[in-house]
Amino acid sequence: MNEEATAAASIGPLDIGRVMAALPHRYPMLLVDRVEELILDRSIVAIKAVTINEGFFQGHFPGRPIMPGVLIVEALAQAAGVLAVESLGLAGSRKLVYFMAIDEAKFRKPVEPGVLLRLEVEFVQKRSSVCKFAGRALIDGQLAAQANFTAMIADPPSV
C-alpha cells in the first residue's frame, strides 16, 4: 500500500471517549486507555496505563503486584475489538466482539504497576463475522506477552 493510501486509512490517536464508543466494556473491565494509531483493515496500537489502583493487584500478588496474564490477553482482545469495530464500520451498532479461541499465548516479562503497556494487534484474517488476530504487549519496547486469537462479531443477547 502506498503512503497516501496508508495515511487515508490511518486514524488516531483516539481518546477514551472514542474507545468507549467502540467497546461495551466499562470500569473495571475496560483495559484500553487510548489508541495511538489505527490503520483500518490492518492494525492498531493502543495503550493500557497499568496503575497500582487496579483491583486485581490486591490479590495478585500481595507484596509483588503483577498483572494477570489473562488480563493482558483481554487487553489485547479489547484493542482488537476496537480495530474490528472501526474497520468493519460497526461503531454505534451495539455489535459485540466475543472470544472464540486463544492460541500460542506466551508471557515473557511481568507487567507491574507504573508501566504503559503497548498493545499491538494486527488482523491475520478478516471476515464479516469471524476475525483472527495476532497481538503483542510491550513494555518500553520489550515483549511482555503475545497471543493469537479468534473472535466472533455478533448481536448482543436479547434482554
> Could you confirm whether 60 is annotated as catalytic?
yes
Paired with 152 in beta bridges are: 98, 130
Which one-letter DSSP state was computed for residue 57? G
Quote the CA–CA distance of 124 and 128 in Å, as a whole number. Answer: 14
Residue 7 makes CB contacts below 8 A (sequence gap 6+) with none
Catalytic residue among 25, 34, 42, 60: 60
- What are phi and psi for residue 39, nearest 5 degrees? -105, 110
Q: List active site positions.
A: 60
